[in-house]
Structure 1
Amino acid sequence: MKVTHSWRRYRKSILALFFCWSMSMAQAVDFMPVSEVQTGMEGIAKTVLVGDDISTFNVKVLGVMENRGPSGDLILAKFSGPVMEQTGGIAHGMSGSPVYINGKLVGAVAYGWGFADGTVGMITPIEDMVKLWNIPYEKNLSNSWSDDRLIPMGTPLMAYGFDADSMEYMKSKLPQYGYETYDTASATGDNVKKPLVPGGSVAALLVDGDLKLGAIGTVTYVDNDQVVAFGHPFLKHGESDYFMHNASIFTVVKSVNSAFKLGSMGSEVGTVTEDRGAGIAGKTGVIAHGIPLRFQLADYDMGRERNTSVKVIEDPEMTPTLAATSFYNFLNKTLDRSGSGTATVSYKITPRDNKYKPLTRTNMFYSSESISEKSVDEFYNVVDVLMNNRFIDYEIMDIQVKADVTKSKVTAKIVDATASPVVVAPGDTIVVDVKLEPFRGEVVTKEVFFKVPEDQKIGKATLEVRGGGVVPLPYVLEKQKYNLTDEIIRRLKTYKDFDELFKEIQDTDTNNQIVVEFLEDGVSMVNDGSSAKTAKKAKLESVERNPLPGDIKKEPTASESLSSDKDEKKQEKTAVDTEYIIQGDGQFSIDVMSPAKRDKVLAKRAKEAKQKAKLEKKLDRDASNTVKASDDKGSSVNSSGTNNSSSNDSSENDANNKASGSHVS
């Protein structure tokens, strides 16, 4: 029995070696250079129409178009045969179909004429395609080369698991590519890895996992673990890290514009390492790491939860959009509705380099139109800023996202606030009681303690109370006065290093916070009696105190840098979290003095308040005596006197409070 098992294992090994040798022999083929291609030459091309079965169609050379392609020459050809009759001409997805003349590989079917029938097209020479295996390092080239009369035959994106709204969102963020997307399905056997062969199907994916997004084309040539395909650019990003997958074709769909192959994107088999004018190139057996995203989503109203994941390519231009689109899509499917709602979104972005801290942030959002889209905006901006910052190459290892959504409007408006004291010295604490009116709820009060900065300037100051996502109204008015757009505001802000940028993203106010801070000098809606001519104008750098995370502004000049060392100081503020999205703002006028002067002023005000209280008490007593003189019942007079005494004590307390406190303006 042992001998039998050994023989079987030996026989399997021999068959495996024979299979590998057969594959390498089958793929060993001579090339025909463009210089040998002549008008009238005939050959065949290979492609898949259904499943994995390779079909052939006829090719006849019409001529050579010198230097007309993105990487050099193109070969003009006429295509014919039953396949062309069935498809109506070359279709999207046939790009990369290898063309053979006299048994030699000439190149790949890649382009068609926009104004002609689909049986005339161009071939990219194989000589240019295999150069992609040894190309010098170059990163993120410009967008795809184009000729208005030539149409690459493989640009549609197959989308698995995405809804129409998320695809529109993606296109709005990446309009420069202009790709059409088509919904597709999975196929039986997609999880089985299959060897890539010339004429077979291959897919280059941007998103993989529970969602898939990528382009399907045809393999042109395989040399051991090296592959070239498409014959034209996919995105023309140069050096790339797309996910290389098997593909299986359902059918060729005829279209008014151009037919296309509809297929499934199967098992991951390698990495697309180059994306250039002559096509895409990659290696099998090497899996691109990408950026994994894990989502934990919940709809409170329906009691529905979803845990899901994808990985997206690591690319500064595309990753933010692909990550946000995936988030948007999963949120849509979890809610199974459109429209208003409130979301609490938390995310953690972990860098590959452990010398940098993970970024964690939680925020609340409300939208009356589309809570799904509103929920992903900040997430998109943060990923974009991190990956495209000017300081370091921030490589992301992992992203985790949690979102809880309800249809309820979880907002509260600031309806009133009191601050005490309003005469302070640097280092003092001001207690701010903020009254909030929740949407269709009872008024609640939140207490905020604000410490006056130790280096606060002496004089009048404006204390702002606002929701974390609210731009103070005085800043809005200043912005309008100087006709400053959001883009100008963003460009006014700068950071000295990545740590400062990271801290701003991490600590930027959230929509559910009550924020208390001093406004910039001279920017106020509180009428303190000062002349408009003597009031200082706000510094342009601070017209808007709540920019988007990571906003960039211009570098200061040398003279500005020297003066800013004296004038600029860290903006002190206090932020308190709440369970609501806070709306509205208001201001207090605060007198900042030296400790000695503060004590003197407070003592004087307390004395004046006491005298005022005594005067009010005397007037009340006189009024009470008048009542006594006209009233025959002493018990009623005594009761009245007692009540007046209580009222007088209250008046005295109110007077003392007024001496040191103030209501919001």
Structure 2
Amino acid sequence: MRRPHVRGKATVALLTGLALAVPTVAIEAGLTTPASSAAPTGDCAVAYPTAEVTAGQAVHGLTVTQGTAPTAFTGEVLGVLKDGILPGIDLVMARLTSTEIDRVGGIWQGMSGSPVYAADGRLIGAVAYGFSFGASPVAGITPFPQMQAALNRGMPRTISIGGKTARLLARQAGVSRTAAQQGFEQLPTPLAVGGVSASILNRKPTRPYQPKAAYPVGNASAAPAAPTADNIVAGGNLGVTYSTGDITQGAFGTVTSVCNGLVRGFGHPFNLLGQTTYAMTGADTLYIQEDPVGPPFTVANFGPPVGTINQDRTTGVSGPLGTLPTGATVTSILTHGATTRISSSTVTVQEALAQTTNYALVVNHQRVLDAFPPGAEQQAWTITGHQGATPFTLHAGNRYADANDITGMAQWDLPDLVWILGFVPDVTIDSVRGTAVVTDDASVFQLARAEQWTGGAWVKLSKDTPARAKAGKTLRLRLVLTNTAGNAVVPLSYEIPKSAVGQRGKLFLNPGFSFPFEQDAPPTTLAGIKKLLRNMVRTDQVRGDLSFFAPTGSIDLSKKTAPADRVISGSLRVKVFVQ
């Protein structure tokens, strides 16, 4: 499982198209294109040879500014950067205009993939780059012939330009020559997440699988007028998602062309995963948001899946309409008192499983508890999958308590486990299920004392009263746990080897801890992870490590108690003498 790649932001440039959510304006009168009405086969646009594109050439195109229907824009070619993107892939530069482009100050994140046509209706390419420092009407266009070829090479973030081109761009974009000369950059494709609040998305990442940045958007999948496959047309909205359902994650862009059910869009990669299994969705644009600092951006709702994006390449994304991808299910079942809620999401890209599991746990807590309150929680986990053709099932769980915020404490272990499973070769996860019961009592057990059964009675052990064991016999102990609501005892015993005769040892008693999967070098085999789960000491268990230093070498014995019904805190150290 690879973690989805997150691109950094460079200095200036034509940026890769971000799609969040976008409002749509009315089509400008008097302009028609091959995509203004989609035939059953799609527009099947004919590519315009990039070598024939000339400065001053009039162009027109389609994009969405509100709703789902494409509207028109016009423009003029400024020039062509030979090998501007990569060797053999030129970059067409054009100044674009429309009522909405003029209103927000330039092209926006979400226009990525918007088709740009020559006067004769042939398709020049897709809007895919823009100035990164702010709004600008100048767009970088990925040639459609290269999108058809679907090259699979690394896309440079920054494209250098010469002084002559910088002067041209400075005149056309209304920026300084120094700013223009910094080059072009892909329009960003930030992660858009539906079903998760901005306060959660804006958390500082503490795990490698947490996105560095994400934006809240809506999910119109169940709406009466939700976008359908009929809305996947040239210039229409294009959603590309990792997951759908309770937690929907992906990015918005624009459809460049549809032909015989094959959709092409974006004009640049999403995560450059190559062959992949994103879900393809439509989207309902609400509006285009101006941004005083950066480029404007789209605000939209994802629609339901209508196809599969199976290629994420240098010059765009593509895939078939109609065929839906299969995926792993992430389920969170949370009970608090009389309330039980089930959160269910389908994740079609394994790289997104850990972050989806984390979001599902947090959101379900937020929905059921309607706050971030103190409390205690018991979780049970089941993960199913297969390694190659061999199926497997993992069962585990843990208990949590927090006097301030139970959600913050209980959200990490299961996603951490999913994350480390992703590094095991040939493992595919089919389902992740977390079942939890939350109570309001956040109090814990205190590990108060250890006692030894000796002489027909339980004797309290202390620094002055060591445990006395016999070599070759069983050392029988119990641990006393205290709480204002009532005490509990848990048994703990050791078989003392004969080689320990005459030795003095120490017994270290410590409870388990949360986040047991935070290790510097987690296992990278399925057998290793199964062993990790077997040996895991839960927070409601105590691990006892008994050590002797015999003439023949160290003797180390380790045991853990059965789970108690509260989290345990505190630790003890007991001397042990062997007769």
1:99 aligns with one of 109, 116, 119 = 116
8 A contact 1:470–1:583 mirrored in 2: no
Q: 2:325 aligns with which of 288, 291, 301?
A: 288
- How far residue 223 of structure 1 moved from its aligned partner, in angstroms, is 2.3
Q: Distance in 1 between matches of 2:157 and 2:356?
A: 23
CA distance in 2 between counterparts of 1:267 and 1:319 reads 19
In the alignment, the residues of structure 2 paired with residue 333 and residue 68 of structure 1 have an alpha-carbon distance, to the nearest angstrom, of 49
The SS at the match of 2:202 is helix
The equivalences for 1:501-516 within 5 A come to 501-516=529-544
Match status 1:28 vs 2:44: yes
Q: Is the 8 A contact 1:58 1:81 kept in 2?
A: yes
* 2:476 counterpart of 1:490: no
Find the partner of 1:460 among 504, 516, 534: 504
- 2:561 is matched with 575
Cα distance between partner residues in 2 of 1:199 and 1:568? 73
1:584 aligns with 2:570: yes
1:611 paired residue number: none
Q: Write the letter of the residue equivalent to 1:449.
A: S
Greater strand share, structure number: 2
Alignment partner of 1:405 is 2:422: no
* Whole-angstrom CA distance in 2 between matches of 1:57 and 1:494: 54
Change (3 A) 1:81 1:169: closer
Q: Which amino acid aligns with 1:431?
A: R
8 A contact 1:46–1:99 mirrored in 2: yes
Q: Does 1:223 align with 2:259?
A: yes
Q: What residue identity is the alignment partner of 1:95? A: S
1:585–1:263 CA distance, 2 compared to 1 (3 A): same
Q: Distance in 2 between matches of 1:42 and 1:413?
A: 78
Task: Quote the residue 2:148 is aligned against.
Answer: 130
Contact 1:364 1:581 in 2 (8 A): yes
Q: Write the distance in 2 (CA, Å) between the matches of 1:429 and 1:250.
A: 72
Amino acid at match of 1:189: A
Q: How does 1:411-422 map to 2 (within 5 A)?
A: 411-420=444-453, 422=467
* RCO higher in structure (CA 8 A, sep ≥6): 2
CA contact (8 A) 1:73 1:125 kept: yes
**CA contact under 8 A between 1:450 and 1:574: conserved in structure 2?**
no
Q: Identity across aligned pairs (percent)?
A: 23
Change (3 A) 1:175 1:365: closer
TM-score by length of 1: 0.69
Tell me by how many angstroms 1:49 deviates: 1.7
Matching residue's letter, 1:335: L
* Equivalence map 1:250-265=2 (5 Å): 250-256=286-292, 257-265=294-302
How far did 1:413 drift? 0.6
Match of 2:98 in 1: 81
> Which amino acid in the other structure matches residue 73 of structure 1?
D
Q: Secondary structure at the match of 1:28?
A: coil
Question: What is aligned with 1:270?
Answer: 307
Aligned length: 502
Cα pair 1:154 1:217 within 8 Å, conserved: no
Once the two structures are TM-superposed, the CA of residue 457 in structure 1 deviates from its matched residue by 8.5
Name the residue aligned to 2:480. Answer: 435
| Structure 1 residues 52 and 21: CA distance shift in structure 2, 3 A | closer
Residues of 1 paired with 2:216 and 2:383: CA distance? 31
Query: CA 1:494–1:305 in structure 2 vs 1: closer, same or farther (change >3 Å)?
Result: closer
In the TM superposition, what is the alpha-carbon distance from 1:52 to its structure 2 partner? Answer: 2.3
- Contact 1:207/1:322 (<8 A) preserved: yes
Q: How far 1:250 moved relative to its partner? A: 2.1
1:511-570 Cα offsets, whole Å, 9 max, x none, are: 111333324x67xxxxxxxxxxxx99xxxxxxxxxxxxxxxxxxxxxxxxxxxxx98998
After superposition, the Cα gap between the structure-2 partners of 1:586 and 1:357, relative to the gap in structure 1 and judged at 3 Å, is same
1:349, distance to aligned residue in structure 2 (A): 0.3
SS of the equivalent of 2:140 reads strand
1:184 corresponds to which of 218, 240, 250: 218
Distance of 1:208 and 1:70 partners within structure 2: 34
Alpha-carbon shift at residue 32 of structure 1 (Å): 1.4
In the alignment, structure 1 segments of 5+ residues that lack a partner are 1-19, 472-485, 523-534, 537-565, 593-597, 599-665
Cα deviation, 1:30-77, whole Å, max 9, x if unaligned, reads 211222211111110111222222211112111112333268321111
| Secondary structure, aligned partner of 1:293 | strand
Q: What is the deviation of 1:372? A: 1.1
Tell me whether 215-224 or 416-425 shows the greater mean CA deviation: 416-425
Q: How does 1:464-479 map to 2 (within 5 A)?
A: 464-469=508-513
Which of 358, 370, 378 matches 2:405?
370
Q: Contact 1:190 / 1:264 at 8 angstroms: preserved in 2?
A: no
Bigger CA radius of gyration: 1
Judge conservation of contact 1:170–1:325 (CA < 8 Å) in 2: no
Mapped pair 1:451 → 2:491? no
Residue 247 of structure 1 corresponds to 283
Cα deviation, 1:316-367, whole Å, max 9, x if unaligned, reads 4x32122212221221221111142211111100013573431111210122
Q: Is the 8 A contact 2:420 2:523 kept in 1?
A: no
Residue 54 (structure 2) pairs with residue 47 (structure 1) = no
1:305-320 matched pairs, under 5 angstroms: 305-316=340-351, 318-320=352-354
**TM-score, L = length of structure 2:** 0.78
Residue 203 of structure 1: CA displacement? 0.2
- Structure 2: distance between partners of 1:153 and 1:456: 69
The one-letter amino acid paired with 2:59 is G
The answer to whether the 8 A contact 2:256-2:266 is kept is: yes
The aligned residue for residue 240 of structure 2 is 204
Between the aligned partners of 2:138 and 2:62, the Cα distance in structure 1 is 16
In the TM superposition, what is the alpha-carbon distance from 1:219 to its structure 2 partner? Answer: 0.3
Instruction: String of CA shifts for 1:368-409, please: whole Å, max 9, x gaps.
Output: 3432121121112111111113xx322111111111112311
Letter in 2 for 1:583: S
Q: What is the deviation of 1:94?
A: 1.2
Distance of 1:456 and 1:498 partners within structure 2: 36
Structure 1 residues 249 and 469: alpha-carbon distance in aligned structure 2, compared to 1, 3 A threshold: closer
Secondary structure, aligned partner of 2:110: coil
Partner of 2:520, secondary structure, is: helix
